[in-house]
Structure 1
Amino acid sequence: MNEPLRTPESLGAWPSEKTFSAAMRCGELLLVGSQVSLATDGSVLHADDPGAQLAIVLRRVEAVLQSGQADVSDLVRLLIYYVPAEGFDDDAIRRRIARWLDEPHRPVITLVPVPWMAEPGLAVSIEGVAMPSMSRVRGVGAATGEFPQAIRCGRFIHVGAQMAMGTDGEVLHPGDIVRQSEITMENLRQVLDAHGASLDDAVKFNIYYVGEGTYEDWEVAARVRARYFREPGPVATGIPVPALEKPGLLIKMEMWAMLGEDGSRLPREYSWPENHWDWAIHLPYKHGLLCDDMFFVGGQIATDDQGTVLEPGDTEAQTDIALRYIDRVLEHLPGAERRHIAKTTTFYKGGSSAMEHARNLKPREAWFEPAAPVTSEVALPALAYEDMMIEVEVLGRISHG
């Protein structure tokens, strides 16, 4: 069974009647939920100092790892959402995290700038994946020389954010999302190839792109990405953000892949329920994928099979629909049940507001009982479609216990 690890008592957590797990053992993975600078009473620590918040969050990640008999050297993946400020940008955060970690044990890393966090005053949240006591093979170093582009550890290949960036740190083809998408997809292909894998081995694909929540923002680059996958493809989640870390940079992508340690392709099952929601254009991705004993469900949204938003603008109603869709996807993956969910990420349209956060948090905390997964909560000014309010993705591991 997956084993939840509760937040150490000295740490704060997302304001919720049922505290989500701080970490979850999921097979050989130790999943660390989003850590933020909240006190145990829910107040923000150092609301006016993002650098101080980052220091607190890194200590909390370390404490959560220790609660799972792991340490920072076991990290293979970090995902950081942050609110940019003077002296608190992508480069500054990378340098601080690089100092926190030992050179031989740095994970892949993805940083995503956002205009605000789910709760007022927060400036940074960090989630992670560790694989304790497992040997790893690092990919070639990133352009900065600080973090690898990919790490192969057991049957997992973790690929950090890939972008259309030159070795000098300059944006390639600034403002051209089509060309940047092509370069980024080629980067992903090459990184996987260096580990003996291909895009066919991808299981989870996340895309962050500059957009304002319109079909036009999303459609052109989605068609480019789709050309690189054969059907059936991985699960996918695409998230618009107002800006990325450098002017002219319009898209970045990260990926999980799975491959047998002997290089063999692992058994897979796919889920695409009848009369389920679909994109407005044909794409190769599937809603759910079971690879070996791990399952992944791409971002579930409240649209119909023509890509039309249901219950437009209604957060509570769309949350209910997205959760019901997750159940439907799991029903078509042999052995997968809601209780096997180990991690959830929720992207929702809303400001930095405890009230807006609660509109989707309360239904979700009740629905996930007794799974108690780790969680990440990301508030944004818009999602992929106009009047779309929420997108929820999950992953987990089947168990017969």
Structure 2
Amino acid sequence: MEGMFYNVTNGYVEGIVRGYRNALLTNQNYGNLTQCETIDDVKLQLSPAYGDFLSSLPPNPSTSALAAKTTDKLVSEFRYLQANSTGSLSKFMDYLTYGYMIDNVALLITGTLHERDTRELLDRCHPLGWFETMPVLCVATNIEELYNSVLVETPLAPYFKGSLSHSDLDELNIEIIRNTLYKNYLEDFYQWVNSDPEVSGTPTSEVMSEVLEFEADRRSINITLNSFGTELSKADRKKLYPNFGRLYPEGTLMLSRADDVEGVRIAVDGVGDYKSFFDQTGLSGGGPSLGNMSGGGGDSHKSLEDLFYQKEMEISKLAFTRQFTHAVVYAWVKLREQEIRNITWIAECIAQNQKDRIGNFISVF
């Protein structure tokens, strides 16, 4: 019965998403891409999947231009789904855009701090996170001004609760703003999937709870690792952790007290997945292994970032084994984003003549 009602309102969008998912690059496609000698060869191999979006690229384009055009396809397909969604699915898709909005806010105010060209900064913003007052971000000088003149009319406004101050916009404060917004956003999204009358108790709630708990834990771990050697106090660090997840509350309390990587490893010891990540990366006493854009560093140990991406792909693939759930939209976005990272990584390896590392990408199939 639940499935019948779901299909009446959302069956078309779910069907389209499953079609999008089946159009992702296969392992054979990746095998062909890794044999390419030039970026033009990559472009040719991608033509069946991305043809219309790559047609305007010049000969032998830059990897950043290639990434931008592949992202354009994701944005176009997402907008089509958004235009055909109603009710709770429409709200769900709005939530998916908020993370991009937060990243755009951080990008613009950080770039402005470093006196970067405004037009260049706006070009680098993710299209899914665009909002009308975004260009005004480039003239904000403190947090209060940022909120009152720019963000008060956006969906991000509620996520500033309790985080406003008269602080100037320096690098540390910008990172605190970004992570505070993300914390409030993830908590709000988590509450919505577990309390909205149309969503609570459905497969969407079940799958998205797991997805968001993983994202909350990943952010808590990364915030902790990145805070070492900075001016961020332990008390301020603790305020940035989302108040849910598999690590919450005991694990996040231990994270807030950690002094080094070993302290982080001990804090996550109670969650098997995260414990195995630290075992695989060799993170125990030294500094964190730094990741890269593909998820594949070519070092003897995989980076923690790689393993988080791999876990994200596992969760996303599993979402497609479920029926009658909005979560397939989220999962498809994550799979497509990883595909774009993979393409960019392969193109970058070719451009820099690093063919020995070209296979270090994360499969989405």
Structure having the higher strand fraction is 1
Q: Is the TM value for this pair above 0.5?
A: no
Structure having the higher helix fraction is 2
TM tier, shorter chain? 0.3 to 0.5
TM-score (norm 2): 0.34
TM-score (norm 1): 0.32
Higher radius of gyration, 1 or 2 = 2
